[in-house]
Amino acid sequence: MKTVLSGIQPSGRPHLGNYFGAIRQHIALQDGGHACFFFIADYHALTTSRDPAKLREAVRDVAITYLALGLDPKRVALFRQSDVKAVTEISWLLACVTGMGLLERAHSYKDKLAHGVKPSVGLFTYPILMAADILAYDSDLVPVGKDQIQHVEMAQDMAGSFNAAFGEVFRRPEPFVPSAEKLAKVPGLDGEKMSKTYGNDVWIFESGKKLKSAVGKIATDSRAPEEPKEPDEMLLFSFLELFTDAATLEQWKARVRAGGEGAPGYGHIKAAIIEGMEAYFAPARARREELLNDPAEVDRILARGAETACARAALVRDRALAACGLR
Ligand code: ADP
Ligand code: TRP
């Protein structure tokens, strides 16, 4: 049995790109017969957060979102990073075998500086805490987006340095990036990649008037409904296909290609997108409402997850402390 671990940043409301590009694949891993550990990276969030209420809210929102979308807390340990004290202890042990040069080469650190983030020591040592997250559970596979692969490789380096100095303590993790064909690249309302940064995103639980207004913004042109068109070149179809089964999608495409009297106009297709999206996320939305009304249940789930995580991480920490002469 492999151990799968990933951390999720509590950074605002997830959009369709996050769901189809990442969250869905994360949750699917629970069906693979692995031991799964998913945590909310609240210590990492503190490298930039200065608003306690917002951070607290964002952490809860991640937990509720994953649970609503189908994460099964009986099969996955879902917990807060800051609940596992052994991780911060291990991060010190790793810091002592990590060269400054390794951290200086981190793309994401350089990137954040370029975007005007003030360089705190925490931001600089972010990869050490992340390596501790990974190594604390004897993780085999770490599902991450492309931007995080370098951090997993740094965890491999740190495990290697510690093991070279003190013997085989840490298991070598591998980054796990779902294969390209399984990865949906979801475009935003303007046709560029959907991203919070570009403001072209749609929250997965958006509904009612706000959803209507968002979908209304999907870029189209001024061709008349009767004019035959190629649906694969239309941004509207990149949205419709997310929520429509293959047979129904083909029918829509055929009508658009044929043009003429019976062809759907853009408004028509937009209405189908709204209906499709609302139906697609309806069970998750209902589950989300339940969880919003039952904060004690969310607390219980996070506490149980933390218990499982702490037990595993304490073993690894003790092994590491013994190896380097601290016990
Ligand atoms: P954003 O660009 O909105 O800030 P993040 O960089 O936080 O999103 O992405 C979180 C995860 O969601 C990553 O694993 C990334 O691969 C995935 N993701 C983000 N946007 C998209 C998109 N438009 N299509 C597919 N996957 C995406
Ligand atoms: N740095 C990751 C991100 O920004 C979140 C994260 C923290 C993480 N610790 C981790 C991911 C450990 C995987 C494994 O998305």
Question: Is 167 in the same domain as 261?
Answer: no
Residue 74 falls within a domain, yes or no? yes
**What are the tokens at 90?**
């291990």
Q: Is the pLDDT of residue 71 over 80?
A: yes
Rounded CA gap, 57 and 59, in Å? 6
User: Average of pLDDT values for 203-215?
Assistant: 96
DSSP output for 281-306: THHHHHHHHHHHT-HHHHHHHHHHHH
Q: Is the CB of 125 under 6 A from ligand 2?
A: no
212 has catalytic annotation: no
| CA-proximal residue: ligand 2, atom 3 (nearest) | 9
pLDDT band with cut points at 50, 70 and 90 for residue 183: low
The Cα–Cα gap between 93 and 129 comes to: 10
Query: What are the pLDDT digits (tens) for 46-67?
Result: 999 999 999 999 999 999 999 9
- For a ligand 2 pocket test, name from 94, 130, 137 the mutation site with the most ligand atoms within 8 angstroms of its C-beta: 130
CB of 26 closer than 8 Å to CB of 20: no
Residues 60 and 177 in one domain: yes
Query: What is the rounded distance in angstroms from the CA atom of residue 103 to the CA atom of residue 294?
Result: 42
Please indicate, yes or no, whether residues 99 and 224 belong to a single structural domain of this protein. Answer: no
> Which residues form the domain of 234?
208-280
For residue 186, the CA-to-ligand 1 centroid distance in Å is: 9
Check if 112 is active-site.
yes
Based on the fold, state whether residues 225 and 82 are members of the same structural domain. no
Burial of 29 (0-12, 13-18, 19+ CB in 10 A): buried
* Residue 42 beta carbon below 6 angstroms from any ligand 2 atom: no
Question: How many domains, in total, are found in the chain?
Answer: 2
Asked if the model's pLDDT at residue 181 lies above 80, the reply is no
76 SS3 class: strand
Tokens of 294: 């039952």
170 and 314 housed in the same domain: yes
Pair 131, 230 in one domain: no
Task: Please pick, among 182, 193, 217, 253, the residue that the annotation labels catalytic.
Answer: 193
What is the per-residue DSSP string for 102-132?
Answer: HHHT-HHHHHHHHTT----HHHHTHHHHHHH
Mean pLDDT calculated for residue range 68-83: 98
Q: Whose CA is nearest to atom 6 of ligand 1?
A: 195
Which residues does ligand 1 sit against, CB inside 6 Å?
A: 17-18, 20-22, 145, 184-186, 193-197
**CB contact set of 293 (below 8 Å; sequence gap of 6+):** none
Provide the pLDDT confidence category of residue 276 given band limits of 50, 70 and 90: very high
| Cβ atoms of 309 and 39 closer than 8 Å | yes
